Amino acid sequence: MHAIVKFFQKPIFYDKRLIFALWIGAALLAGLSHLNKANNYQIFKYVFYHTIEQVNLYTEYPDQYFDSNHYGPLFSIIIAPFAVLPDFLGIPLWEMVIAATLLVAIYKLPMSWKGKVIIYWIAMLEVYLNATNSQTNTLIAALIIGAFICIKSEKDFWAACFIMLGLFIKLYGIAGLAFFFFSKHKPKFIGYLFLWGIIFFILPMVISSPQFIVQSYADWYESLMLKNTLNTGSVYQNISAIGLIQKVLGLTFSNLIILIPAVILFALQYIPVKEYRNPVYQYGLLASTLIFIVLFSTGSENSTYIIAVTGVAIWFLIQKKPLNKYLLILFVFTLFLTLFANSDLIPAFIRREVIRPYSLKAFPSLLVWLILVYQLTTFRKASGKELSGHYLPANKAEER
């Protein structure tokens, strides 16, 4: 392990130009690799055209793509600049822009460059995998981190924008409200949330009609309820703590039996009120939020783990150094199973008969989250023993 760490401490691995080029290059390569089979991108593109034509956004259109759309009407505006381009331009540009959002969000985090480098290298493979499937999870992670950054820097107007944008695209963005108590301007923040909510609700009407968009929101709700039902028994969906528990036990029961205790555990993290201004605590809650939304959503799939992996990386950064050997083993195990659960590094039989049917990809992230919940709930007691601000800069110059 010491030799591996020493190898990756070479200056080339910290070179900003190399990291940025590989990050965007991975997205470009992934986009070019599926020009002729970009089903998800076709779904995205036709959200724009179907909104203009005012035809149901959530009906299946087998002549255009398989599966169905599960994104909000606002997505028609987001995808518009790419949808009007030929696919050979629109697809790679879309993948690069989506990848760039998380690249910038991590870069803007107020932490040392070394800390950002660790996140970049850990998340890079997941960025590539998301781009090969034309997924928006990279953008969702960026919006949540962006909301966190803006609240910390007292830019509540933009924090509210990022939260509501994520909400109107894929619901996950609402997780940014986890940082509400860090805001120093709570009444204004609430007002901004309503303002952006109104803007994003109305915006798709610019290319359609008020009646169609209002109906589309109702259709969106119905499609999400149906998708939640279908996800429960899916091998490729519900790769979450919910799916893990239900599949291992071999029982089907209401998701609320798992969700309610999970929400209570998440709420317990707010107990140390006096630590809300502590950067280590704040980063801990950011990590917890990123992991939580993946673990407790039936819509979680392999590509969704770009969000959780970013959270796990941040959790790793706030652990006291030298890292407890058991936490180090858990960290390595989490990265290995999360990043390579579907790769040839794991025998096909194990992937097919063990990991996939029981949603075991969620297991190490669940362990990390439970440990983090304990660390934050007991923060005042644990902070001196287990948590550290080693990668959090004392001044602006240390961030780059």
Q: How many helices (H) and strands (E) does the chain have?
A: 18, 0
| Below-70 pLDDT ranges, the chain | 1-8, 232-235, 381-385, 393-400
Look at residues 238, 261, 259, 260 and name the one whose alpha carbon lies nearest to residue 248.
238
State residue 51's pLDDT score. Answer: 97
Q: How far apart are CA 317 and CA 320, in angstroms?
A: 8
Q: What is the pLDDT of residue 393?
A: 67
Burial of 348 from C-beta contacts in 10 A (0-12 / 13-18 / 19+): exposed
In the block, tokens 């630590």 appear at 275
Q: Which residues, including other chains, have CB under 8 Å from residue 345's CB and lie 6 or more apart?
A: none
Per-residue confidence (pLDDT) for residue 252, from 0 to 100? 81
pLDDT for residue 149: 97
pLDDT tens, position by position, 318-344: 998 888 889 999 999 999 999 888 787
The predicted structure's pLDDT at residue 175: 95
How far apart CA 17 and CA 20 sit, in angstroms, is 5
- What's the N-to-C CA distance of the chain in angstroms? 27
AA letter at 203: L
Q: Quote the pLDDT of residue 391.
A: 85
Half-sphere exposure of 102 (CA within 13 A, CB side): 30
- Which two structure tokens, joined as six digits, stand for 233? 């028994």
Name the nearest CA neighbour of 158 among 138, 142, 136.
142
